Amino acid sequence: MVNNDKEKLIISTSTYKVSDREEVKSKLIRLSNIRIIEETKKQAILHWSNEKNTILGTIILKEKTLSFETNSLERLERFKKKIQKLPLKFEKTDYIHVEDIMAQASKNKIKIAGQKKALKKEKLKIPEDELEKFALKWWEDYYNDWVKTKIPAIGNITPLEAIRTKEGRKRVEALINDYENKYLHDVKRQDNGNNIQKYFNPDELRKRLKLY
């Protein structure tokens, strides 16, 4: 893989020590094709571009350090020559070969695909007694909350409020019957493995509302 200048892609980050940030910044922006694109109290970010406005590298200038990132060894060498008269002390350069990144990405894709395949084969199964214990507690909380929840289908009031009138009581009974005759029966016929829906008991709602 190569960049726009047909140079082999090798990503590098070079680090330098800075003794006087303002002096370095002042001298950097005097160099050709280097300009500040963002600046805060903590750092200044500069781009080094060519005549076609292609970004050749990014400079991050902080209080005590300067780092330069580019994507080819040729650009790195050109930058080193460009800043050789600046008051900077070179520390190190870290390299990343793009081929290594691509190879690792390919390995990761294969590994992830294998994991997904294994998960499809192995269906998570909770022991039925544990599932029942969990489901009954879950539905117990649901029943207690439901009777105190405002429901649009019965006039945006709670079931406990609705049953105070004859008409409201009919609406609540119809709603619970709907749960039982449509929703619950459909869910029970499905084979969803760890299915807590099958433990739903509409009579628990009727009991809390004293509908029978």
pLDDT of residue 106: 55
Residues 80 and 18 in one domain: yes
Q: If you write DSSP's letter for every residue of 1-21 in order, what string do you get? A: -B-TTS-B-EEEEEEEEES-H
Report if residue 3 sits inside a domain.
no
pLDDT class of 129 with cuts at 50, 70, 90: confident
Report if residue 58 sits inside a domain.
yes
Report if residue 119 sits inside a domain.
no
**Final residue of a structural domain among 98, 118, 145:** 98
Task: Name which of 27-31, 120-124, 155-159 the model is least confident about.
Answer: 120-124
Residue 47 vs residue 107, higher pLDDT:
47
Task: Name which of 59-73, 149-163, 175-189, 193-207 the model is least confident about.
Answer: 175-189
**Final residue of a structural domain among 98, 119, 146:** 98
Whether the Cβ atoms of residue 98 and residue 10 lie closer than 8 Å to each other: yes
Residue 114 in this model has a pLDDT that exceeds 70:
no
Residues 139 and 199 in one domain: yes
Report if residue 109 sits inside a domain.
no
Residues 133 and 82 in one domain: no
Residues 61 and 141 in one domain: no
CB-neighbour burial class of residue 81 (10 A; exposed 0-12, middle 13-18, buried 19+): exposed
pLDDT of residue 122: 47
Report if residue 178 sits inside a domain.
yes
Report if residue 115 sits inside a domain.
no
By residue range, what is the domain housing residue 14? 10-98
Residue 14 in this model has a pLDDT that exceeds 90:
yes
pLDDT of residue 45: 93
Whether the Cβ atoms of residue 69 and residue 58 lie closer than 8 Å to each other: yes
Residues 82 and 132 in one domain: no
Average pLDDT of span 176-198: 67
Rounded mean pLDDT of the chain? Answer: 82
**Final residue of a structural domain among 81, 98, 115:** 98
Average pLDDT of span 95-119: 57
Task: Domain count for the chain, please give it.
Answer: 2
Structure tokens at 32: 């050709």
pLDDT of residue 59: 95
User: CATH no. for residue 17?
Assistant: 3.30.160
pLDDT of residue 186: 58
Task: Name which of 70-74, 186-190, 200-204 the model is least confident about.
Answer: 186-190
- Give the distance, in angstroms, between the CA of residue 143 and the centroid of all CA atoms in the same chain: 34
